[in-house]
Chain A
Amino acid sequence: MDPSQGGERATPWGGGQTHTGGDALIRAVEQTVAMLHIENLTKRYGELVAVDDVSLDVQPGKIVGFVGPNGAGKSTTMRSIFGLVAPDAGSIRWNGETVEQNHMRSFGYMPEQRGLYPKMKIAEQVSFFAELKHVPAKQARMQAEALLTSLDLGDRLDDPLEKLSHGNQQRVQLAVSLVNNPELLVLDEPFNGLDPVAVITLQEVLAEQVSAGAGVLFSSHQLDLVERVCDEIVVIVNGQILARGSVRDVRAAGGDRHVTIEVDRPIMPIIDALDPDTVMTSTTESATVRVSGDEELEAVLAKARQAGPIVRFDYHLPSLEERFASIVNASNDQVEVSA
């Protein structure tokens, strides 16, 4: 599937951005600006294609949300940025150069599988990881202490990691990913296992990093967070990218609109007049219906009017969550058909 297809399908509806004629040119320009440029990445494990021809960019100062069900290929893609997975095809570039170990000095990483040295003191530990990223020893120690202090761990600097609570260990993990002032931050499910306060802290941290010019790629299946935080989202299912763009683009990309009709009497007669497959939810006096295209919209409105006065006629894009669910369902149906 052409990854840009989602964007093009949106245009007839006028919801998406104008990605039509100059699309190739725009992408070419984006690539030269992009710090991280992943192109046609493919990774197979035997029969299983974990990542199938994935391309994505991360621009400076932008947050890209990487969204998909478990096992969709998010972690495999992110790990391949750090050479932890050797791709079968495709390339990963950083400012135009093929990514190698020395580029990773300017990357920060929070793996999905969290883990640090249990018996190492936390300041020493954060400083160790900074030094691995070529931060000079003294500076590494200073930054580690400053960072941990800003994460409210200032009085625990000489405690071994294992003495800290789970939540605090997560903070140390975050400190490790930030301690080299990365230009690219790759966070695999960073919000997993965080308490609500820590979620807010992490959002603030991301905002700081981005305003300092870093590019952020983070994966999540908490779509409400993604919707709030991201400049761009990339939806991956079964190793393939099925949608991408701004949150609005992706919501619009399916071509569906949701119509909520509310009346001051039982709504049943109206529902009966509609195609039952399109009715998503209903109460006694209201119903939400899926429509695609102007004609269908007009038809629904006409049928509703025939039945009498309308209290509310609300017309909106599907939420990201709804959109995501329909992408995943469509993909799974396709897999079943082809299998």
Chain B
Amino acid sequence: MSRGRAVWLVMRREMNQRLLSKAFLIAQVTTVGLIFAIFGLVTFLDNDDPVRVGLVGDQPTNAEMTLEALAEQTETEVEVQTFDSRESAAIAIEEGDLDAAVIDGEVMLMDEVDEEVVQLLTPAWQQASLVDGLRDVGLSNSDVGTALSDAAPLSIEELNPDPDSGPRRAVAGASVVLMFIAVQVAGAYIMMGVFEEKSSKVVELVLSSIKARYLLAGKVLGIAVLGIVQVVLLAGSALAAASIFGSSALPALSASLLGTAVIWFLLGYLLYGAVFAAGASLAPRQEDAQSTLAPVTVILMLSYVASIIAAGEPDGLAAKVVSWIPFTAPFAMPGRIAAGDALWWEIVGSMAVTGVAAVVVLLLAERIYVRSIIHTDKVLSWREAWSLNT
């Protein structure tokens, strides 16, 4: 009971002092603004205008219908116009009023090849022609329908191997960045908190009333609450921004992502947070902390860089590997989840691995913190602190 009370008092102080501080509020407003700006920019760059297709002369019977069906599957909008002549369609393309025109089985484009349009038009026309061919051979409408419904998914899969890999990469990358920011900021809060107590020497007084481990626990838990507030704000504003700027580009963003983001934040935070506390406890003054915290910062940065590189291909081997390594998993796995690529057992498994690692690291960090926090006279090395007695 006494233990719980001590931890709670420290936790409450930590939350009161920071949650209401101007710095915290400003940081939150800034990051939310930044997220909206990023989403706006992505949407702006990711041209979402409808594909405008012109038709000249005879076309396969269901060409237009098939095109619209395909477009819907790939979440692309199409506008179809009919033109009298090849010339009028060509003028429309040149003036930018039209993306492509189909004339007698040919596709007319501007000189640059617009892959998206070709990928859309080719299968549509192949399919429509196929249906006409089958009818010509004498199959009934229902037979054609059956044949199509059997064949369609296969042919689409093959012709459009990864229709929205771009947006998925973007989402995976953004998730990595958001998780990194969240863990980094929370780590910085822990670091500052430890410094404040150590450099002001107030820690001597606190530890004359409660044990060092409860001070550490209260601090870590208190800042965890702030961190969760932050993650919910970050991920929530990302969701909000996504829905405002058109969620079609962001396939797997959903409320459940928010839940997993909070869990992943906690895992990453527990893994890194206590180490930040231990590193900060080695330095009597803030100036000395750069060197004592260097190992932590290096691991954190490397993990971040590895995760962001792997996020370039969310279903690639690298992404799979880093989503299982405890130090990278808190960044990499949310990326894969957001990209809609992770399987449930992978998620649960890597959460478990990271959770176990976090507990081990927490215990090691606690040993360092408890031994070094009371020494306010000189900079300690990790090794010295490990074998120190009070």
To the question of whether A and B form a pair in one complex, the answer is: yes
Give chain A's interface residues, CB within 8 Å of chain B. 79, 82-86, 101-102, 104-105, 107, 109, 111, 113-120, 128-129, 131-134, 176
Interface hits, B1-35 → A, CB 8 Å: 2, 5-6, 9, 13, 17
B205 contacts A133, C-beta separation under 8 Å: no
CA–CA, A113 to B377, complex, Å?
Answer: 11
| Residues on B with beta carbons closer than 8 Å to the beta carbon of A107 | 208
B205 contacts A86, C-beta separation under 8 Å: no
A101 contacts B211, C-beta separation under 8 Å: yes
| With A116-B202, A117-B202 as contacts: A133 and B209 at CB distance below 8 Å | yes
Binding site secondary structure of chain B? helix
Give chain B's interface residues, CB within 8 Å of chain A. 2, 5-6, 9, 13, 17, 196-197, 200-211, 374, 376, 389-390
B9 contacts A115, C-beta separation under 8 Å: no
B2 contacts A132, C-beta separation under 8 Å: no
A117 contacts B196, C-beta separation under 8 Å: yes
A118 contacts B204, C-beta separation under 8 Å: no
Binding site secondary structure of chain A? loop
B2 contacts A176, C-beta separation under 8 Å: no
B208 contacts A128, C-beta separation under 8 Å: no
B201 contacts A85, C-beta separation under 8 Å: no
CA–CA, A119 to B390, complex, Å?
Answer: 29
| With A119-B17, A128-B13 as contacts: A109 and B2 at CB distance below 8 Å | no
A113 contacts B201, C-beta separation under 8 Å: yes
| Residues on A with beta carbons closer than 8 Å to the beta carbon of B196 | 117-119
| Residues on B with beta carbons closer than 8 Å to the beta carbon of A131 | 9
A sample of 7 inter-chain contacts (CB < 8 A) reads: A84-B207, A104-B208, A111-B201, A114-B201, A116-B200, A117-B197, A176-B205
Q: How far is the CB of B381 from chain A (nearest CB, A)?
A: 16
Q: How far is the CB of B281 from chain A (nearest CB, A)?
A: 15
CA–CA, A335 to B209, complex, Å?
Answer: 38
B10 to A, closest residue via Cβ = A132
| With A82-B207, A101-B210 as contacts: A115 and B202 at CB distance below 8 Å | yes
B201 contacts A101, C-beta separation under 8 Å: no
CA–CA, A101 to B201, complex, Å?
Answer: 20
A176 to B, closest residue via Cβ = B205
| Residues on B with beta carbons closer than 8 Å to the beta carbon of A84 | 204, 207-208, 374, 390
Q: How far is the CB of B207 from chain A (nearest CB, A)?
A: 6
B198 to A, closest residue via Cβ = A115
CA–CA, A42 to B2, complex, Å?
Answer: 30
A110 to B, closest residue via Cβ = B205
B377 to A, closest residue via Cβ = A113
CA–CA, A142 to B17, complex, Å?
Answer: 21
B376 contacts A113, C-beta separation under 8 Å: yes
